[in-house]
Amino acid sequence: MEITNEMRLMFLSKSENESFARVTAAAFISQLDPTVSELVEIKTAVSEAVSNAIIHGYDGTVGIVTLEMRLFDTKIVEISVTDSGKGIADIEKAKEPLFTTKENEERAGMGFTVMETFMDQLNVESEVGKGTRIVMKKYLDAEHT
């Protein structure tokens, strides 16, 4: 498996940058000629990961969110979203459907569930006080799924 292209985008943890990340991911992935469904799934997963970094990672403070994407010759897309925010104390609990730390806000607690549903692989690395890195993979070639 060889990397054919890669990119890195760094932006402030402001909610208006979520759509910027989505559009950037879609533009970058378009070189692999994904289906409309694949494109929507990737954009949605990126949106959820970036939202989690902004809302939960930085929790009202401003920091940097990094979106990285790698394209492989096997039509695999690897996406990582990294923050240097609060971190996640219990990753397995955070991944449970309907779990949210923002109960007073209109949060569904489905971010990780959406990412797991739309992507073929999801890995979450986090350390309290240091931040979180979410790495997702999507296989655009049907023989991998």
Angle formed by the axes of helices 17-29 and 36-52, to 10°? 140
According to DSSP, the residues that pair with 10 across neighbouring strands are: 66
Let me know if 107 is a catalytic residue: yes
Residue 144, pLDDT score: 44
- Choose, from 18, 38, 41, 48, the residue flagged as catalytic: 48
Contacts of residue 94, Cβ cutoff 8 Å, sequence gap at least 6: 88, 112, 124
Percent of the chain whose predicted confidence (pLDDT) is above 70: 85
Q: Are 68 and 77 in contact (CB under 8 A)?
A: no
Residue 97, pLDDT score: 57
Residue 88, pLDDT score: 84
Contacts of residue 138, Cβ cutoff 8 Å, sequence gap at least 6: 38, 41, 42, 45, 76, 77, 79, 118, 119, 120
Domain layout of the chain by residue ranges:
3-144
- Choose, from 17, 22, 41, 52, the residue flagged as catalytic: 52
Encode the chain (145 residues) as per-residue pLDDT tens digits: 899 999 999 999 999 999 999 999 999 999 899 999 999 999 999 999 999 999 888 988 999 999 999 999 888 999 999 999 999 887 776 766 555 655 555 555 567 788 888 999 999 999 999 999 999 999 997 544 4
Let me know if 48 is a catalytic residue: yes
Let me know if 2 is a catalytic residue: no
Q: Are 29 and 39 in contact (CB under 8 A)?
A: yes
Burial of 45 (0-12, 13-18, 19+ CB in 10 A): buried
Find the radius of gyration of the CA atoms of the chain: 15
Reply yes or no on domain 3-144 having CATH 3.40.50.880.
Answer: no
